[in-house]
Amino acid sequence: MTIQWFPGHMAKANRELKENLGKIDVVIELVDARLPQASRNPMLNETAAGKPRVIAMMKTDLADPEVTKAWHAFFEERGETVVNVNAKHGKGLKDLLNTAVEVGKQTQARLIEKGVSPRAPRAMVIGVPNVGKSTLINQLINKKTANIGDTPGVTRQQQWLKVNQNLDLLDTPGILWPKFEYEDVGNKLALVKAIKEERFIAQDVALFLINILKERYPELLKDRYKLDEIPEDGVELFEAIGLKRGCLIRKGDVDFEKAAGVVLTDFRNEKLGKISLETPNDWKERLTEESEA
């Protein structure tokens, strides 16, 4: 099943985002380090065209460090500015702030040349639901305010926040886009809870994850589920995990729904280890095709 989820409040948030871009000096684009490209909003290339951007790779503590390094290099090669952040543990915040202020100042300098009075640069923070935006913003403004949680798509209004004399922030609600251009994007976003549980079939998403783990992290699977070997076939592997975990409908018959819950919870709670769902190589061809189109 292809996953899609674009509720009305996100369409509205997208419109508001567009309206406010004129007031912004820099866009801080939050991406999940486990799926750095799949969690980027492709609409931004159009809506924020020409606006300087800083990519903040969020939740780096959950991703495979080697793959995160590769993503960092990949984005930089493409001329993007990227900063690694682990908001939960307050890492990378200074770097992100300094970078955003620096980039924002460059836009400001151009405005000042045109006669606009100097002011603190303004940054807009955008990202998919559950990327860690509230956690980050609360850290930046040193406050424990609203809405940290893992219910994707909790509607919030745009709001201006003062970080310090050097930077004003426009917080925006977590948004997705109307159509996921590739099937794996929906699955990956579902895995990291950017999509409401009711909008996807847990077994499908768990099988998608199992296939990635089978290819890239077989040792982690063996360790976690005490498997001697990894079956070639993803469904057989799913079944083997269910059997090991005692997820049974009746003797010998695996309850796949229950097994899916186990695998998804293990992934999300870091019980499987640090996992990246994609590498730059998975995207190189796609991005080249897109830029040539």
Q: Please say whether the beta carbons of 158 and 16 come within 8 A.
A: yes
Of 44 and 237, nearer to ligand G4P (C-beta) is 44
Nearest CB to ligand G4P, comparing residues 90 and 118: 90
Q: What are phi and psi of 132, to 5 degrees?
A: 110, 20
Report the binding-site residues for GTP.
130-135, 174
CB 157, CB 173: distance < 8 Å: yes
Say what the alpha-carbon torsion angle 40, 43, 45, 48 is, to the nearest 10 degrees.
-110
User: Is residue 173 at the binding interface for ligand G4P, with CB under 6 A as the rule?
Assistant: no
DSSP state string for 49-99: TTS-EEEEEE-GGGS-HHHHHHHHHHHHHTT-EEEE-BGGGTBSHHHHHHH
CB of 197 to ligand G4P, least distance (A): 13
Tokens at residue 206, please?
A: 């768990």
186 binds ligand G4P (CB under 6 A): no
CB 259 within 8 A of CB 209: no
CB-nearer residue toward ligand G4P: 58 or 230: 58
- The distance of closest approach from Cβ of residue 187 to ligand G4P in the complex, given in angstroms and rounded to an integer, is 19
Does 123 help bind ligand G4P (rule: CB under 6 A)?
A: no
Which residue's Cβ lies closest to ligand G4P?
Answer: 132
144 binds ligand G4P (CB under 6 A): no
Q: Which of 111, 148, 220, 248 is close enough to bind ligand G4P by CB under 6 A?
A: 148
Size of the site for ligand G4P (CB under 6 A): 19
Contact residues toward ligand G4P (CB under 6 A) are 58-59, 61-62, 86-88, 127, 129-135, 148-150, 174
